[in-house]
Amino acid sequence: MPDILATSYAPKSLNDLETLLKNDIKVKVAVDGVLRGKYMSKEKFLSAASSDGFGFCSVIFGWDIHDAVYSRELLISNRANGYRDILAVIDLSTYRRLPWENNVPFFLVSFLDPDTKEPICVCPRGTLKGVTDRAAEYGWTCYAGVEYEYFNFKETPQTVADKRFHNLEPLTSGMHGYSLLRPQLNNEYFNDLFDVSAVFEVPIEGHHTETGPGVFETALAYTSAQRMADNALLFKFLAKSMGMKHGVIPSFMAKPWGNLPGCSGHVHVSLRNSSGANIFAIAKEEVEAGGRKGAANEDTKYVSQEAEWFLAGVLEGLPDIMPMLVPTVNGYKRLVGGEAFWAPNAVTYGYDSRAASIRIISPPSVSPSATRFEVRVPGADMNPYFALSAIIALGMRGIQRKVELTGPPVSQLSPEDKKSGKVKMLPTSLESATQRMMAPGSIAREEDVFGSDFVEHYGGTREHEVKLWNEAVTNWEVERYLELV
């Protein structure tokens, strides 16, 4: 099988690397999450590539997206350890060149503890690798796809700052999903997103306008979970870079407008065995016979027993890992009352249902080899490494423990469903979601999911976000209370 992790021209040895870089004087490296990085001289880079890595300030695990130190001291980076260096290890398989930066070489890195040389527990790339490595012990390879919806604004970083982020101008007006006309208004930008992605080895399957002023949707080509997370992160970087070129700001914020649909980050997942066969699929003969005997219900008769256990595992743990799928205060605005916008806010599943939290995609709507689950809870603001890690870890737990699927499929919630407790609702705020994830009995704390070290650190970062929100005074509050209370 081809190397599904590596780009097509990734070096296979240090000699290959030196040959690839023979005409370069510098290299760009980047760390995941909110993409950060720096230029390195070629000499420094080659030295790091041939050794254990290079020192990188651990403060990237100690501050938020606006470079503010977290409200309380966390595990990896803190005053007590002096925000010491950690080891950044270059992943040669991620080699690309940046077409919009004079084709400078570009690599992603992962992080190790400088003392133990073990992966840092909250390194996003390392976290996902740990999960996919556990799947590999069973002979399985994790596959995934990501679809992003995102608003685009006819603005620049300077204009939005000058406007104090108010009255921003959308790229186009009106609601025009799947429009053939609206992309003509910004043709170069719209096509650059697709074309430059291909050159950058972030292949796209579909690219179109979505409902909402200036909204695009881009579906990234299905591949291995690790490569998919890299591609999802790098697509955001590319989109923002292309936006700067064309005077556009693409926003992956989950809910920029209160009265319009939000921006999803739907995740598709499946598992394949060593021969490349999809273990979620059932045999052609079973499909022709009307589905698998012994399935929990009609909705799961076209998926395998392993797939049903995987689904049950994700559903069981979903409320406990919500901050991994919806990491921002704003993201929950997309889910609250989101049924009208196909934004699920309950523990639900359904066959080919876009109203459920987990959509089962299987025959007869697709061929057996394309059988998969679409997790529709995440917004475009997700960290793809953490979202994929959570989904796959829960699904693997479901298979290992043979978790039974309980409850019927529910595609559309009724008021009675919510009142009766027949359907479990998901947390409605980052605060409640974080509290649940950090609770002593949380599934997230189990060692075969994330473990307590991860939960304490990541949960602490989310507590910080909640604290900043609770301290903020919003325009809504001023307009509502200033005069009349």
pLDDT in tens, 152-193: 999 999 999 999 999 999 999 999 999 999 999 999 999 999
Listed by start position, the domains of the chain span 14-120, 141-476
Task: Give the chain's count of helices (H) and strands (E).
Answer: 15, 14
pLDDT in tens, 353-405: 998 999 999 999 999 999 999 999 999 999 999 999 999 999 999 999 999 99
61 CB-near residues (< 8 Å, 6+ apart): 74, 76, 77, 86, 120, 122, 457
DSSP readout, 272-320? Answer: E-TTS-BTTPPPHHHHHTTS-TT-SSGGGTTS-HHHHHHHHHHHHHGGG
Residues 52, 55, 59, 62: what is their CA dihedral angle, to the nearest 10 degrees? 10
Q: What does the pLDDT average to over 333-338? A: 80
Task: Give the model's pLDDT for residue 266.
Answer: 97
Q: Give 304's pLDDT tier (boundaries 50, 70, 90).
A: very high
For 14-120, CATH gives: 3.10.20.70
Judged on CB neighbours under 10 Å (0-12, 13-18, 19+), 418 is middle
Radius of gyration of the chain from Cα atoms?
A: 23
Q: Nearest Cα to 177, choosing from 345, 342, 387, 364?
A: 342
42 CB-near residues (< 8 Å, 6+ apart): 21, 24, 25, 26, 27
Structure tokens at 445: 């704390």
Per the CB < 8 A criterion, the answer to whether 310 and 392 are in contact is no
Interior/surface letters 195-229, b for 16+ CB within 10 angstroms, e for the rest: ebbeebbbebeebbbbbbbbbbbbbbbbbbbbbbb
Query: What's the rounded Cα separation, in Å, for the pair 228 and 295?
Result: 30
> Is the pLDDT confidence value at 1 over 60?
no
Residues 405, 407, 408, 411: what is their CA dihedral angle, to the nearest 10 degrees? -100
71-78 long-range contacts (CB < 8 A, ≥24 apart) are: 71/463, 71/464, 71/467, 71/468, 72/460, 72/463, 72/464, 74/456, 74/457, 74/460, 74/461, 75/121, 75/122, 75/453, 75/456, 75/457, 76/120, 76/122, 76/457
The three-class DSSP label of residue 35 is coil
Judged on CB neighbours under 10 Å (0-12, 13-18, 19+), 329 is buried
Query: What's the rounded Cα separation, in Å, for the pair 39 and 335?
Result: 39
Task: Give the model's pLDDT for residue 410.
Answer: 81
Q: Give 339's pLDDT tier (boundaries 50, 70, 90).
A: low
For 141-476, CATH gives: 3.30.590.10
Q: Nearest Cα to 393, choosing from 463, 316, 326?
A: 316
133 CB-near residues (< 8 Å, 6+ apart): none
Task: Give the model's pLDDT for residue 33.
Answer: 67
297 CB-near residues (< 8 Å, 6+ apart): 405, 408, 409
9 against 65, higher pLDDT: 65
Task: Give the model's pLDDT for residue 30.
Answer: 86
